[in-house]
Chains A and B, each alone.
Chain A
Amino acid sequence: MEQQHDKNSENILSLANNLRWDLGVNLHDAVVESIYEDASRIARKTVSSKGNKAAYNLERKIDQLVTSRWLGFPIMLLMLALVFWLTIAGANVPSGLLAALLLDTVHPALKSFAAAAGLPWWLDGVLIDGAYLAMAWVVAVMLPPMAIFFPLFTLLEDLGYLPRVAFNMDSLYRKAGAHGKQALTMSMGFGCNAAGVIAARVIDSPRERLIAIITNNFSLCNGRWPTQILIATIFIGGAAPAHWAGLVSAGAVVGIAVLGIGFSLAVSWALSRSVLKGEASAFSLELPPYRPPRIWQTLYTSLIDRTIFVLWRAIVFAIPAGVVIWLVANVHIGGQSLAEYFIRWADPIALLFGLNGVIFLAYIIAIPANEIVIPTVLMLTVVSAGLSGVGAGAGVMFELDSIGATEEVLRAGGWTLLTGVNLMLFSLLHNPCSTTIYTIYKETNSLKWTLVSTFLPIVLGLAICFFVTQLWLLTA
């Protein structure tokens, strides 16, 4: 009986399958078509629309303005420049306050408390100079710019302006095999690459989304701007005549950022034509109506979803990294610290790329955040060059108040103009920070694409630094 039943149902299924051959190739289309037909018939019968002609006309006027041939791009650049200016100008004061509180007040207080409690020196070092300091540093330099940049960006998004930017930029990205919305994720990346990677969710085509994620790291993020500005001021500005110094170094930093955009387009192009050729692609871009932004909701979501979310991931990675940073400078084997061992060993290799062992080590151990690369470089330079009277001791990251003092430390560490140029290039073209790498893994759910996004920029960066250095030496 049971068997008979199975047999019957199998026959019915196979008959159904055979009948589908007679229906032809366009079955799916026909089904969708009839669904739409039914839906619109029902809608015609039951829905009446008043329609706000005036509002629609105003919207059309705005659309024609922001997508016009001559004004479209200038308006876009102006808006972006405004957002960046507000971020940089607005973040300075709160960043200074946070640094004064967390680094200059709480840190010494913790140290004296530890001393009073009789904590052994190594425990005090690992916990306070290592873990706490790294975390405090990340919070002080990351929080204010993100807390300004993300809400501003979300406001523009909410207003409906950002989809128009994607609409205007699409033809450029189409030629690179990418989606116009990548212009948005790229701009977001200028704030924070991890946030840029998350923002790639707006791209619904799988291939274009992967491209946007992998190339987001080529946007010079907030954590790297200060490094670029510092090094450009010291080495590039320093090499130019005094009255041109400011302009030349500013030009160099902008040049690096533009180079990053160039790389993001070039790598998108190459990826979409090689490894990502086969990934599915479906372009679609909706242009929602303009609407007044919901300020409070925007503030809340951008602070919670973006700022706190990214900051939390950064802190989680910064704490163990702080411990490692302290340990490499303080664990000694045969009279030398681990850091010195590595730096001696890596120096000859790093010099081929116009960098040095300190930079290599700093980029490895300061992986949680680009913000702590320069403090780590300074600390390691002091340790390896045996400078005295600078900094706060082995394993304690520090920054110097004056640019001149920073320059002295770096020059004592053997830095030249060539090192400066290569550091700027390598700062643009190296692996994403651990927060971003983790975010890429979370977003793509693929180890393969995470590894590609991590190692592709390093290989590219090392290759570029190598050729720049060797050509420089050849012509020098």
Chain B
Amino acid sequence: MNVLDVENLTVEFPTRRGVLRALDHVSFSIAPGEVLGVVGESGAGKSLTGAAIIGLLEPPGRIGGGQVLLQGHRIDDLPYEKMRRIRGKQIGAIFQDPLTTLNPLYSVGRQLIETMQTHLPLSNADARLRAVRWLEDVGIPAAKQRIDAYPHEFSGGMRQRVVIALALCAEPRLVIADEPTTALDVSIQAQVIALLRRLTQERGLSVMLITHDMGVIAEAADRIAVMYAGRVVEIGGVAEVVRHPSHPYTVGLMGSIPVLDARVERLRQIEGAMPRLNAMPPGCPFNPRCPRTFDRCRDERPELMPARQTAAACWLYA
């Protein structure tokens, strides 16, 4: 059984000028121990998908349709208090900026202990012991002394390690990592990804890794979902999507990654910009920017369909 199944998930924002659909029938699943990379440009709906899964959409955003299943049980319609017990305990979350995700007024130890004791029946002494072990496990040197240090006494990379410990300390089955390395130094990024990969593999955790860094995805993910304008436009194994992309958007995305040893005049890019939510074109949302648009793209919306080695939402493969 899959750890996570997202089926036709739709997220809407009611506004004065009508309802905007920010996620449109998004579907994917994550198997036990699998790392699913979710890529796409800013505003494609990657983070929103993560927020919708853990039930923390910012009002007025709301789930307008579809469902989210965690190990076969529906969780998108749970009342707040039940969902709260799932957050942290069954789904851990890692956020982008470690400088702002830790409460500045509490020591890292206190934050770890508080999180563990919320979900696990632990005495204060046991929780503290475990907190030290977690800090050691995520590679904080001198964890015994550092447990009472405050977030501002750690560097950015160290803080993200603490955030990872906080996300994993109540032993969830699934981790949603929303751009976990974007705010970090390049040299630190690789370390943090390696750490995340090691910890999740050791425990057999599933990961939804949201990023726009293709390098991170290629290194860490088993499968990739490519999102565009609130939809999944292509999904497949990491090697297949990176080397043999089917959807013209994915092709453009992969083509725009600069290659170090080739000298070029201009970096390649996809012309135009992603459509705004209130000006979504009919048919395929990528059709105004697509180099291979034809009539059907402007009239009918494509669903995910088998396309060579992956699945793509594109009429070229109908």
Tell me whether A and B are bound partners.
no
**Chain B residues engaging chain A, CB cutoff 8 angstroms:** none
**Chain A residues engaging chain B, CB cutoff 8 angstroms:** none
